[in-house]
């Protein structure tokens, strides 16, 4: 096969170097039939991953067709969700996803940066190693176990201790009003925060590692304290990377399903109070998809899934762009 005979499409532009490689390798035909076969085998596996992403988008779009034909994407800002009456508005779920994820980021981002700083800059090596292991174990616990813990430990604690206190002290804020349910937006946000801390902190550690040692030494040599060194030499130059790590955590939080489904209370409505139960885009799919009977109901849920896929895709692409830039800069 010659590289010149390939069509000059975009695809060929990507594969041309490979084809050339194969052409070069297969000059001596008798030896290299196996090489070509092997190459195409590995190549098809790799391109399968690319195809898979397109297939996911395609199949979700196909499943969502009846709903999209009915209302396009306007159902994302309609409020009523009543499958029996044939009303499908996803606003409450979009709201739930956004609020719970931002709450999670609000809690997890400072904690993760603190862990990354402590483990990377302050702690002695052995302690850092041990605590790093514990953080990884935090990430290894399955989502459903966090949900279980959320139902029976976290939610009761929030209901009896934390939420009454918040209501009493900060009750003038609308987000802390209303009866403490335990299960609800706040519980979901906290569980999500716990689950994304490992992701954000390990990325932050990588970002901090990319800062040259000489920057720290320069700050210390000028008489800066340890904290000033961290602030001036490490944090200041890692802003982009931290931002990327937090966005990646956000992407994780948006799509997280089981733990949230178990503790958010599953109520299809919008409430300003963080104590109130709600519903997220992922949790409504988990709750209703296997029990949906009408094709329109299934399609509406698939359309929510498609939206979730698109949003997490864009967010992750942005985050990786940021982190990639930081890592490339370090080289």
Partner 1 sequence: MNSAMLQNYLNEGYAKRQWLDRFMRALLLVASVIALLPLFSVLLYLFKNGLPGIQLSFFTSLPKPVGEVGGGMANALVGTCTLVSIGTLVGVPWGIATGVFLSEYGRSRFASVVRFCTDMLSSVPSIVIGLFVYALVVVPMGGFSAIAGGIALGLLMIPTVARSSEEMLRLVPTHIREAGLALGLPRWKVILRIVLRGCVSSISTGVILAVARVAGETAPLLFTALNNQHWSEGLDQPIASLPVQIYTYAISPFNEWNTQAWAGALVLVFLVFVVNILTRAFFVSDGVGRE
Residues 134-173 that bind partner 1 (CB under 8 A): 134-138, 140-149, 151-153
Judged by CB under 8 A, the residue of 100, 101, 201, 279 near partner 1 is 201
Judged by CB under 8 A, the residue of 226, 236, 239, 325 near partner 1 is 226
User: From the CB of 96, what's the least distance to partner 1, in Å?
Assistant: 14
Q: Look at residues 243, 249, 114, 264 and name the one whose alpha carbon lies nearest to residue 191.
A: 264
User: From the CB of 73, what's the least distance to partner 1, in Å?
Assistant: 17
Residue 120 is encoded by which pair of tokens? 């990377």
Select 102 or 309, whichever has its Cβ closest to partner 1: 309
What x/- string results for residues 19 through 58 when contact with partner 1 is judged by CB under 8 A? --x---x-----xx-xx-xxx-xxx-xxxxxx-xx-xx--
Q: Is 187 exposed, middle or buried (0-12, 13-18, 19+ CB in 10 A)?
A: buried
Stretch touching partner 1 by CB under 8 A, among 78-86, 165-173, 213-221, 249-257: 249-257
Please list, residue by residue across 254-290, b when 16 or more beta carbons sit within 10 angstroms of its beta carbon and e when fewer do.
bbbbbbbbbbbbbbbebbebbbbbbbbbbbbbbbbee
59 touches partner 1 by CB under 8 A: yes
Residues 264-283 close enough to bind partner 1 by CB under 8 A: 282
Find out whether 35 and 26 touch, Cβ atoms under 8 Å. Answer: yes
User: From the CB of 174, what's the least distance to partner 1, in Å?
Assistant: 27
Distances (CA, A) of 82 to 87, 98, 122, 288, 292: 5, 21, 54, 12, 12
Judged by CB under 8 A, the residue of 6, 78, 98, 118 near partner 1 is 118
Select 13 or 325, whichever has its Cβ closest to partner 1: 13
Select 237 or 287, whichever has its Cβ closest to partner 1: 287
254 touches partner 1 by CB under 8 A: yes
In sequence order, the 6+-apart residues with CB closer than 8 A to the CB of 174 are 272, 273
Q: How many CB atoms lie within 10 A of CB 306?
A: 21
Stretch touching partner 1 by CB under 8 A, among 82-90, 232-240, 268-276, 307-315: 307-315
Judged by CB under 8 A, the residue of 3, 6, 68, 111 near partner 1 is 111
Cα separation of 81 and 91, whole Å? 9
């Amino acid at each position: 096969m010659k590289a010149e005979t390939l069509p000059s499409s975009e695809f060929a532009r990507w594969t041309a170097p490979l084809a050339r490689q194969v052409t070069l390798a297969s000059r001596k035909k008798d030896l290299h039939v196996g090489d070509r076969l092997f190459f195409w085998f590995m190549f098809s596996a790799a391109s399968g991953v690319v195809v898979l992403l397109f297939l996911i988008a395609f199949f979700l779009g196909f499943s969502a067709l009846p709903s999209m034909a009915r209302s396009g994407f306007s159902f994302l800002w309609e409020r009523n969700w009543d499958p029996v009456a044939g009303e499908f508005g996803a606003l409450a779920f979009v709201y739930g996803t956004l609020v719970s994820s931002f709450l999670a980021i609000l809690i997890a981002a400072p904690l993760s940066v603190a862990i990354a700083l402590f483990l990377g800059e302050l702690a002695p090596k052995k302690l850092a190693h041990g605590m790093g292991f514990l953080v990884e174990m935090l990430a290894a616990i399955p989502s459903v176990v966090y949900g279980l813990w959320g139902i029976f430990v976290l939610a009761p604690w929030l209901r009896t201790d934390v939420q009454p206190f918040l209501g009493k002290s900060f009750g003038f804020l609308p987000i802390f009003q209303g009866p403490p349910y335990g299960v609800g937006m706040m519980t979901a946000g906290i569980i999500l925060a716990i689950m994304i801390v490992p992701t954000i902190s390990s990325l932050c550690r990588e970002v901090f590692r990319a800062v040259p040692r000489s920057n720290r030494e320069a700050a210390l040599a000028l008489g800066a304290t340890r904290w000033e060194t961290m602030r001036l030499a490490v944090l200041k130059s890692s802003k982009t990377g931290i931002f990327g790590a937090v966005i990646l955590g956000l992407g994780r939080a948006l799509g997280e399903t089981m733990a949230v489904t178990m503790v958010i209370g599953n109520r299809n409505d919008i409430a300003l109070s963080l104590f109130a139960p709600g519903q997220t885009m992922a949790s409504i799919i988990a709750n209703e998809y296997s029990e949906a009977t009408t094709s329109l109901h299934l399609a509406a849920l698939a359309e929510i899934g498609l939206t979730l896929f698109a949003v997490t895709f864009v967010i992750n692409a942005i985050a990786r762009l940021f982190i990639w830039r930081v890592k490339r800069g370090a080289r």
